[in-house]
A and B are shown apart, each in its own frame.
Chain A
Amino acid sequence: MSISPSASQVPILAVEGLDIEIRGPNGSFPVVSEMAFTVRAGETLCIVGESGCGKSMTALSLLRLLPEAAHVSAGRILIEGADFLTMGERQVEDWRGEKIAMIFQEPLTALNPVLRIGEQIAEAVRQHRRCSHRQAHRRAIEALTLVQMPDPERRAGQFPHELSGGMRQRAMIALALACDPKIIIADEPTTALDVTIQAQILGLISDLQKRLGTAQILITHDLGVVSEVADRVIVMYAGRKVEEASIYDLFDNPIHPYTIGLMGAVPRKGASAEDGDRLADIPGTVPPLWNLPKGCAFAPRCPGASERCRQERPPLTEKRPGHWAACWEHDDA
């Protein structure tokens, strides 16, 4: 595994004007619209949002693993400058694992239940590298050692069900890292774990990134996780990016009312219902994607929505240097 310089300037992954649609019984509807971002080596981009906001669809599209009913209807996904979306199937398979790899939320369903951990990793290695079984196995042990799997030799001979949740997630990360990918996509990597194990896995992900200089995209609904690992953050709502900023700008001065609402909805240290503290709830629920309101999708739930918000969708604009938001208010900010 090579050690690359952290946070270089050239984006290793660039997504431009990405639209994803789902074919439903009553025609297609968009689930992701006009998504765009870049990630550099050594950088961690977090994509935050609630269920149905399009964050997982975005992640799956980056690996060209969208489910049958969904397809990319516009846009480009550039990995080191090459368009991943127009590549032939064989090259895509080569690049998956070598250039870009994914850590899934639930390792128990993502790992093959009838293959030993070591075999699964070795199989992935052999798919990408011309090497003997023995070399592949050695690489698997190296990868398990890298993710600080206790007793890696023994664990390599075990099946996924024999491991605890935390160890399974370590095995999954080892599998993703086995072929030295440049980009790691992690979709809710700690959501299924206990808080103590979550802390270990987040610690591990940060450690590995520092050592290996991978570009990371972490998909999560949890602002706590974001606060621990992100360099930059994208907030999604109803299939669109509504805010993008550095982690500090976002936590210090959130602009979009949805971001502000999300932050207020999480109980803060020291907050107590007993003392009459109330959580800032966002009224209502996320609108269905096949029936989005005409203007800003958040307008029906927004405390500051005006007539303009209900009629016209606000574009994403730079409100402060490096801090983008899609909101008609705050234009003077």
Chain B
Amino acid sequence: MPDTAPLLSVDDLEVHFPIRAGVLRRQVGAVKAVDGVSFTLKRGETLSLVGESGCGKSTTGLALMGLVQPTGGKVRFDGREIAGFRRKELRDYRKRMQIVFQDPFSSLNPRQKVRDIIRAPLDIHGIGTKEEREAAVADLMARVGLRPDQADNYPHQFSGGQRQRIGIARALALKPDIIVADEPVSALDVSVQAQILNLLADLQRDLGVAYLAVSHDLGVVEYISHRVAVMYLGRIVEIGPKERIFSAPQHPYTELLMRSAPSHDPRHRHSFSATSDDIPSATKRPSGCAFHTRCPLATDLCRRVDPQLTARDDGRELACHHR
């Protein structure tokens, strides 16, 4: 169960990519992929980032891993500030924060044996003797539901679900406090998704690891999360306890997401509107509240003034002028 002190606190994180044009490659603008994102994550907790493609949810995860360079903001991990993500600090921080990627086909080196893939983090950080590392590999494989005698096989000899287990074993090797799970099941078949989601739940219960999950699948998010952050064009528009977000969404964008998810009940079908309603691009962020172009509640105020994320009574934070 989550305890109270935040393990990770992210303050005003920004990832802006320059747009260059002309022969001199002058910067003419910026893609504000992540534009002032703040949240905390407690030990043993799952926080999910949800939103449409291009909302910055994956970039947020990658920036926290140091896999893309943040252009602004502060990240504190276990009370220490990760300043500028320099090599040395990163090394220690990365030991405690690991990532599981979406695609178990491209995120494993096809020329390495599974044994070497899972052992790599231990080798890189020089942990244990050779024998200890080998023993750790066997333990990790058993832990994620793989047979240790398959350690000398190559990734292509495994199914998608098994490959995702290999990725999870590699992420667990350094006993991290946090695992960033970037769409961990979206490349998998439904029956295999369930196996991996159950495994992630078991690992959290047994090891107390926290997950920062990135997902577009609201069913998965509702199942695995303690808290949910809804992102739109690089910002969080609503964040709060899972039950609150799902049973009583407040932001009009959260409502739209919830309404768009299939019912799973043929007797109570949603009557989806066929009207086109396209996502604006992060290069041309609308003025004021970025969601006003799609929002049924939008007024002149929304077109002019960008609403700030503010705390509400029921433990959620919300960025909307009208709710």
A201 to chain B, nearest CB (A): 8
The answer to whether residues A200 and B262 also contact, given A266-B219, A279-B197 and a CB cut-off of 8 A, is no
Cα A194 to Cα B65 with chains together (Å): 25
A206 touches B272 (CB 8 A): yes
The answer to whether residues A221 and B190 also contact, given A195-B260, A227-B264 and a CB cut-off of 8 A, is yes
Q: Which of B191, B223, B266, B278 contacts A167, CB < 8 Å? A: B278
Nearest neighbor of A280 in chain B, beta-carbon distance: B194
Q: Which of B201, B261, B269 contacts A273, CB < 8 Å? A: B201
Q: Which of B194, B204, B271, B279 contacts A203, CB < 8 Å? A: B271
Residues of A with C-beta under 8 A to B193: 265
Cα A267 to Cα B191 with chains together (Å): 11
Residues of B with C-beta under 8 A to A247: 266
B222 touches A270 (CB 8 A): yes
Instruction: Mark out the residues of chain A between 257 and 302 whose CB falls within 8 Å of any chain B CB in the assembled complex.
Output: 261-262, 264-274, 277-283, 285-286
Residues of B with C-beta under 8 A to A283: 195
Residues of B with C-beta under 8 A to A207: 274
B212 to chain A, nearest CB (A): 15
B49 to chain A, nearest CB (A): 14
Residues of A with C-beta under 8 A to B195: 281-283
B104 within 8 A of A: no
B90 within 8 A of A: no
Q: Per-position contact with B for A227-271: 1 when CB-CB < 8 Å, else 0? A: 110100000000000000001100100000000011011111111
Cα A277 to Cα B260 with chains together (Å): 24
Q: Which of A50, A195, A248, A273 contacts B223, CB < 8 Å? A: A273
Q: Give the A interface residue count (CB, 8 A).
A: 56
Residues of B with C-beta under 8 A to A274: 226, 242
Residues of B with C-beta under 8 A to A227: 262-266, 269
Q: Which of B191, B204, B261 contacts A224, CB < 8 Å? A: B261
B260 touches A198 (CB 8 A): yes
B275 within 8 A of A: yes
Most B C-beta atoms less than 10 A away, residue of A228, A264, A270, A283: A228
A110 within 8 A of B: no
Q: Which of A201, A202, A271 contacts B222, CB < 8 Å? A: A271
Q: Per-position contact with B for A173-198: 1 when CB-CB < 8 Å, else 0? A: 00000000000000000000011111
A199 touches B259 (CB 8 A): yes
B190 touches A223 (CB 8 A): yes
Nearest neighbor of A198 in chain B, beta-carbon distance: B260
Q: Give the B interface residue count (CB, 8 A).
A: 51
Residues of A with C-beta under 8 A to B260: 195-196, 198-199
Q: Per-position contact with A for B240-274: 1 when CB-CB < 8 Å, else 0? A: 00100010000000001101111111110111111
Q: Which of A150, A195, A251 contacts B261, CB < 8 Å? A: A195
B309 within 8 A of A: no
Residues of A with C-beta under 8 A to B275: 148, 200, 203
A285 touches B262 (CB 8 A): no
A165 to chain B, nearest CB (A): 8
B106 within 8 A of A: no
A170 within 8 A of B: yes
B96 within 8 A of A: no
A222 within 8 A of B: yes
Q: Which of B53, B159, B272, B279 contacts A285, CB < 8 Å? A: B159
A149 touches B223 (CB 8 A): no
B219 touches A148 (CB 8 A): no
The answer to whether residues A266 and B52 also contact, given A195-B261, A272-B223 and a CB cut-off of 8 A, is no
Residues of B with C-beta under 8 A to A224: 219, 261-264
A285 touches B192 (CB 8 A): yes
Q: Per-position contact with A for B202-238: 1 when CB-CB < 8 Å, else 0? A: 0010000000000011111011101000000000000
Q: Which of B226, B256, B271 contacts A196, CB < 8 Å? A: B256
A51 within 8 A of B: yes
B273 to chain A, nearest CB (A): 5
Nearest neighbor of A147 in chain B, beta-carbon distance: B274
Residues of A with C-beta under 8 A to B53: 165, 194
Known: A222-B190, A279-B198. 18 other contacts (CB 8 A): A195-B218, A195-B257, A195-B261, A199-B261, A202-B272, A207-B274, A222-B262, A224-B261, A227-B264, A228-B272, A267-B197, A271-B222, A274-B242, A278-B201, A282-B194, A285-B159, A285-B192, A286-B189
A-B contacts, 16 listed (Cβ < 8 Å): A194-B52, A194-B53, A194-B216, A194-B279, A199-B273, A224-B264, A230-B266, A248-B267, A261-B191, A264-B194, A267-B219, A279-B223, A281-B191, A281-B194, A285-B192, A286-B189
A residues near B (Cβ < 8 Å) are 50-51, 148-150, 164-167, 170, 194-204, 206-207, 221-225, 227-228, 230, 247-248, 251, 261-262, 264-274, 277-283, 285-286
